[in-house]
A and B are shown apart, each in its own frame.
Chain A
Amino acid sequence: MRLITHSFPFTYKGETFYLVYHPYSNSLHSVDYKAYLVIKHKYEELSPQELADFSALDSADVLEIESEIAELEKQGLLGVDITFPYKKSDIVKALCLHVCHDCNLQCKYCFAKEGTYNTARDYMTEEVAKAAIDFLIAKSGSRKSLEIDFFGGEPLMNMKVVKFAVEYGREQAAKHGKEFSFTMTTNALLLTDENIEYLNREMDNIVISIDGRRDVHNRVRKTRNGADAYDLILSSAKKLRAVRGDKRYYIRGTFTAYNLDFSKDVLALADAGFDQISVEPVVLPQDNPMAITSDMVGKVLAEYDALAEAYIDRRMGGKWFNFFHFMIDLEEGPCIMKRLSGCSAGCGYLAVSPVGDIYPCHQFVGEADYRIGNVLDGTFDLAIPDKFGEITVNNKAKCESCFAKYYCSGGCVAASHYYEKDLLTPYGAGCEMMKKRLECSLGIYAVEKKFSK
């Protein structure tokens, strides 16, 4: 049995909130400074200053706090951690459908090499899309809710196949007692009025890529002929937002070494009228000038703190918006099985290339060693899904005593592969960012809870 509890201060407008997060119970405690010291002394390591303060505590106070800790331990809300057993599943429930390995932008940081994934520019045919949907239904067992994300390259460049897949998917879902959720990740460049009407009707979620401020976006995301595209993309995204109502969408940006002050990009997107925003660190080899290198991580963490403060201000000041990485559900949230397995890449979630090749996820597409099979010829090498099915947070040594382990599930498996060259070793810099985002999420929760009373 391990004892995992994370005690940390969170500051908002000069006021410090002492918080204690217990991952096992997913509970959050707001404590006074004395209790913070006693709890941290019991489960973690105090800093020299904290140790001095702890030593100066009145013994009666310490006894009182220890009694409160004992009560919470009895309720399972502090201290205890056990290893939840994981039940492996061979059900496939989600496909990332690469309908197009071509793109009308040439983003400098694109992990997909301008949409081509280091292969020839290629477009999925209706035959491949049909086979992919048949494959998903056949592998979905008793699962009712199935998902298809139209991805690329730029999926709007192959709308004919998108429309075919949606129609065929809905038809087959009705026959087999399934429900399809369709989503699309697009750069919005081809968002005509007709496309907006169609996507708004058929897609359960639409993810639009915009990087924030105009100069930030235009610096790294040019059209194929080298032109700036920010104004056109923003205008189209606003049109879609205007008709979207309460249906799900995200404005999704990427930050790089060029804009470590990315909180300004998040706020710029909020100022542009969007209320569902995700801005995420770039995925690039460390020798790329845009990569987030280890020496930049401190700056990134400080930026998350700055964003958290501005985020609370906006939300409490009548300018509510949601930042994807500050979302947390402490009352319910995902089940333990999901928290253990994460994205389920390579087993529950797979990617299909334009020619029908199956890979563990979109980031593995084009990697010959990770080709699982093909939806057209019916090949499916179980060795890779079996291997990926064993990747849970329980099997990652680095995660064992981490307070964020039931929040990130050990992180992105593709990041582990590319940065750490080992599927079971979480990407180090990613871990630091994830832990900071979790602290911010918990701090935001505590502050909003206090001021909403």
Chain B
Amino acid sequence: MKHISTIAKTERKSTVMGCGECQSSCQSACKTSCTVGNQTCKQEERINTTEKKTNI
């Protein structure tokens, strides 16, 4: 495409249902201003056992 470049997208099919095994968002760091979109999927975590040193 000439005008629009997609630089990121989520594979939705793998993220709709959920297994519930991930960390509760309020237990991660905040305790007051909860954010959910920055949490890591437990399934993904099991594949990548180390923390990503990127923008996540």
Query: Is A71's CB within 8 Å of the partner chain B?
Result: yes
**Which of A30, A84, A327, A345 is close to B38, meaning CB atoms less than 8 Å apart?**
A327
**Which of B3, B20, B22, B28 is close to A89, meaning CB atoms less than 8 Å apart?**
B20
Whether B21 and A185, one on each chain, are in contact in the complex, defined by CB atoms closer than 8 angstroms, is: no
Task: List chain A residues, Cβ under 8 A from B53.
Answer: 320
- Complex Cα–Cα for A144 and B39 (A): 18
- Complex Cα–Cα for A259 and B26 (A): 24
- Complex Cα–Cα for A411 and B39 (A): 14
Whether A333 and B20, one on each chain, are in contact in the complex, defined by CB atoms closer than 8 angstroms, is: no
- Complex Cα–Cα for A333 and B34 (A): 15
Whether A29 and B4, one on each chain, are in contact in the complex, defined by CB atoms closer than 8 angstroms, is: yes
Query: Is A32's CB within 8 Å of the partner chain B?
Result: yes
Whether B20 and A91, one on each chain, are in contact in the complex, defined by CB atoms closer than 8 angstroms, is: yes
Query: Is A332's CB within 8 Å of the partner chain B?
Result: yes
- Complex interface bits, B1-38 against A, C-beta within 8 A gives 1, otherwise 0: 11111111111101111111111111111111111111
Whether B32 and A111, one on each chain, are in contact in the complex, defined by CB atoms closer than 8 angstroms, is: yes
Query: Number of B interface residues, CB 8 Å?
Result: 48
**Which of B4, B9, B15, B51 is close to A68, meaning CB atoms less than 8 Å apart?**
B4
Whether A445 and B8, one on each chain, are in contact in the complex, defined by CB atoms closer than 8 angstroms, is: yes
Task: List CB contacts (< 8 Å) of A135-152 with chain B.
Answer: 143-145, 147, 149, 151
Whether B15 and A25, one on each chain, are in contact in the complex, defined by CB atoms closer than 8 angstroms, is: no
Whether B14 and A337, one on each chain, are in contact in the complex, defined by CB atoms closer than 8 angstroms, is: no
Task: List chain B residues, Cβ under 8 A from A237.
Answer: none
- Complex Cα–Cα for A207 and B31 (A): 10
Whether B11 and A332, one on each chain, are in contact in the complex, defined by CB atoms closer than 8 angstroms, is: yes
| Known contacts A246-B50, A342-B36, A412-B33: A449-B7 contact under CB 8 Å | yes
Task: Return the chain B residue nearest A363 by Cβ.
Answer: B32
Query: Number of A interface residues, CB 8 Å?
Result: 95
Task: Return the chain A residue nearest B14 by Cβ.
Answer: A332
Whether B18 and A27, one on each chain, are in contact in the complex, defined by CB atoms closer than 8 angstroms, is: no
Task: List chain A residues, Cβ under 8 A from B1.
Answer: 68, 71
Whether A35 and B8, one on each chain, are in contact in the complex, defined by CB atoms closer than 8 angstroms, is: no
Whether A333 and B4, one on each chain, are in contact in the complex, defined by CB atoms closer than 8 angstroms, is: no
Whether B9 and A26, one on each chain, are in contact in the complex, defined by CB atoms closer than 8 angstroms, is: yes
- Complex Cα–Cα for A162 and B15 (A): 35
Task: Return the chain B residue nearest A31 by Cβ.
Answer: B4
A48-56, A192-200, A430-438: which lies at the interface: A430-438
- Complex Cα–Cα for A107 and B26 (A): 21
Whether A147 and B9, one on each chain, are in contact in the complex, defined by CB atoms closer than 8 angstroms, is: no
Task: List chain B residues, Cβ under 8 A from A111.
Answer: 32
**Which of A28, A29, A147, A327 is close to B27, meaning CB atoms less than 8 Å apart?**
A147
Q: Report the minimal beta-carbon distance from A115 to chain B, rounded to whole angstroms.
A: 14
- Complex Cα–Cα for A211 and B44 (A): 32
- Complex interface bits, A427-453 against B, C-beta within 8 A gives 1, otherwise 0: 000100110011001001110110000
A→B interface (CB under 8 Å): 20, 25-32, 34-35, 39, 61, 64-65, 68-69, 71-72, 76-77, 84, 89, 91, 93-94, 96, 111, 143-145, 147, 149, 151, 181, 183, 185, 205, 207, 246, 248, 250, 252, 254, 276, 278, 280-283, 320, 324-339, 342-345, 348-349, 361-363, 406-409, 411-412, 414-415, 430, 433-434, 437-438, 441, 444-446, 448-449
- Mind listing 14 A-B residue pairs with CB under 8 Å? A30-B7, A35-B3, A68-B4, A149-B27, A282-B32, A324-B29, A329-B38, A332-B14, A333-B10, A334-B18, A335-B18, A336-B12, A412-B32, A433-B33
Name 17 extra pairs, CB < 8 A, besides A143-B20, A333-B37.
A25-B9, A28-B7, A144-B21, A145-B21, A205-B29, A207-B29, A329-B40, A332-B10, A332-B14, A333-B10, A334-B15, A334-B37, A335-B19, A338-B36, A343-B25, A349-B27, A408-B37
B→A interface (CB under 8 Å): 1-12, 14-42, 44, 50-51, 53-56
- For the complex of A and B, the 9 pairs showing the least CB-CB separation, nearest first, are A407-B37, A337-B18, A335-B18, A330-B8, A327-B38, A27-B9, A35-B3, A26-B10, A94-B24
